[in-house]
Amino acid sequence: MIGKILLAYDGSNSATRAMDVAAELSSKLRADLYIVHVLMHGRLAREFKRLAEVENLVTQSEKPQPPRVAVASGRSYDLLGHSTPDGHSASVISAMGDRLVSYAKDRSKKSGAIVVQTLVRAGDDADKILEAADDLDVDMIVVGSRGLGRVKGAILGSVSQKLLHHANQTVVTVK
């Protein structure tokens, strides 16, 4: 019986489709839904910038700030270009993670899901998802598949592929 589901959510299109599947499963099976996001430290700047734009964090950081608030100099894209985050970009990364799980939680609840908890973790995507799945003792992991293709997937590795090979739980990969 499926009583606990873990959704791995990163804001991508495939993760959004996975979120809808996880919410529907939670609703129909009356299963608890847990949502995890792994922070993007060290990922490619291009991917980070795209997700920041999707979540409107870039535009928000360019809005005028109220007085007495510390503001980083330069454009927000400059903050996002570092492969190792400094304090400013690390806070943007954390804010984006919080925003992503909040969005996933709200959308899933609207679909009838029983959202129990959201988590934001830092580290290797697959390792942190597997760790969360074991810590929470879930029965199923739902994750989106980016569809990088055979060559890129073989070279870069695939989170969904690692989950399929190493998870003790049922893994549902959504395209």
Domain layout of the chain by residue ranges: 4-41+94-174
List of E strands, the chain: 4-8, 32-39, 114-122, 140-144, 170-174
CATH architecture of the domain with residue range 4-41+94-174: 3-Layer(aba) Sandwich (3.40)
**Backbone phi, then psi, for 6, in 5-degree steps?**
-110, 125
pTM of the model: 0.73
Specify the higher pLDDT residue, 162 or 61: 162
- Paired strand residues for 8: 36, 143
Q: What Cα–Cα distance (Å) separates residue 33 from each residue in 66, 103, 118, 120, 172?
A: 37, 14, 9, 15, 14
Per-residue pLDDT, 41: 58
Distance CA 147, CA 46 (A): 17
- pLDDT tens digits along 89-127: 777 788 888 999 999 999 999 999 999 999 999 999 999
